[in-house]
Each structure stands twice: as structure tokens, then as C-alpha cells.
Structure 1
Amino acid sequence: MASPQASRSLEELMSEASHNVKKLPVALISCGVSLSAAALSLIFKALGGTFGMPSGATVHLFYGFLVVVVIFGLVEASFGYWVVPRDLDGWRATAKTMLWFSIFPLVVVAALGGFVF
């Protein structure tokens, strides 16, 4: 099962980062790494449940979405590590936008069972 405490601390970190600029790099790195890890764990699971007997297009769409989420998570984490700490005030709006855009894939991956280890 997913750890409720881990997801709650990630949500708290994202919420605090929108108010405190100094927490933006940590929030970007944490969210990006956890998003990539959860999507990678779904890539190695067999399709089932909602998908039933998936057709070729459904399988390609599912795995394509997961690959895009993994890449987005890695880009988000590297952006938080390399770019944002060097010029916090200059990249604040971009960092907040990236952090808020990561909520949708995070919710989808969590709904598909990505945080179940």
C-alpha cells in the first residue's frame, strides 16, 4: 500500500514551496524524483483492472504516457537541482508553474497505483 505519510509530506512540501521561495528547489527535486519512480514502477507492471484486455492502441497510449511522465519528472528534478538554486528570484515563476503542472501526472500515476510498493 501507499504510504499516506509520504504523500502527505510531498503535498505539504509543494504547498509550502508556493509560499516560500527557498523551498522551491527541494519541492521540484522531490516531486520530480517521486513522479519518475512511480511512473517507472507502473511501466514494469502488467496491465489489468480498468484496461481489461487492452488493444494495441491502448497499450501504446498507456506506456507512451508513462514514458512522458518519467521524462517530465527527470526534467523537473534536474531543473530544480541545476537552474533554480542559481537564480531563485529570476526562475521563481517558471519553477512554480512547473510544480503546479506536475500535479496532474502525479494524480494520474497515483490513481493507477504507482505509489503502491
Structure 2
Amino acid sequence: MGNTLFALHGEAVLNDGGANSFAADMVDASHDTTKLQRALVVGGVGEAAAALYLALFRSPAGLFLQNKVLFYSYYGVLSAIIVFGVAEAWAGLWVSNKRNRRAVGMTVLWLSVLPLFFLTGIAGSAILK
């Protein structure tokens, strides 16, 4: 996924490693089944690992300390992201060349953007704490 180690000879890799390369990798995954599988597995494991790290080692801050409902929703949402990350990785292993499975894989891949935004916001607030 945008790694310069696996670039073909003579191919220029000009990825900034940020949101542009992530979006480009998602578009590439829509055309190639092996890239779709790789994007789902790597994305799912990464999401689950980040959410698990935040749940275990970072306490909620800011808005989540206002009342108990928000405090418990922090851990509830992180738990849901962990489950979604594992399901996304499983979907990456399940996807094959069949058309209906590939469509499910693409749907899961595009839905994985929402937990990434939440994790980015929580990790950013944890870093600034």
C-alpha cells in the first residue's frame, strides 16, 4: 500500500504518506482483489490495535469527563471499533474473486473511514493532553 520497497523498477513513488496516499490506495483496491484483501486486513488490524491501545493505556479526556454517560461511551465506542476492526480483517480474508464478496469487501473498506476519523480525533486529544 504505497510502499517504496515494493515499487517496480523505474516507477516513481511520490506518496506523502498521508490522506492522499490512503485515498489513492482505496481507489486502487477497488480495481484489484489482492490490494482489496491487503487493505482490509492491514486496515482492520491497525484499527483494532489503535483502539485497543487507547482503551487500555489512555484515559478519556475533555468532553468525555463531563458526565458518566460520555465517560462510558468512550469505552463503548472503542470496543465497537475493536470489533469492527477484527470484522474488517476477517472480511479481507473472506474476499475472493467472486463479485458479491468483492462488493461486500468494498463496502467494509469505505465504511472503515468513519472509525479512522474517530480514532484520529481521540488520539489527537490524547496527545495534546
Q: For this structure pair, what is the TM-score category when the shorter chain's length is used for normalisation?
A: 0.7 to 0.9
In structure 1, the partner of 2:91 is 79
Where do residues 3-14 of structure 1 align in structure 2 (5 Å cutoff)?
Answer: 5=17, 10-14=22-26
Change (3 A) 1:88 1:6: farther
Match of 1:49? 62
The aligned counterpart of 1:92 is 102
* Higher RCO (CA 8 Å, separation ≥ 6 residues): 1
Query: Which of the numbers 54, 57, 60 marks the counterpart of 2:72?
Result: 60
Cα RMSD (Å):
2.2
- Residue from 102, 112, 115 that aligns with 1:105: 115
Q: Deviations over 1:28-74 (max 9, x none)?
A: 001101111111121120111343x3321111111101100000000
Residue identity over aligned pairs, in percent, reads: 33
Larger radius of gyration: 2
Q: Is the contact between residue 10 and residue 31 of structure 1 (CA under 8 Å) also seen in structure 2?
A: no
Q: What is the TM-score of this pair, normalised by structure 2?
A: 0.72
Q: Note if contact 1:30-1:77 (Cα within 8 Å) is conserved in structure 2.
A: yes
Query: Normalization by structure 1: what TM-score?
Result: 0.79
Runs of 4+ in 1 over 2 A off after TM superposition: 4-15, 19-22, 87-90
Structure 2: gaps spanning 5 or more residues: 1-15
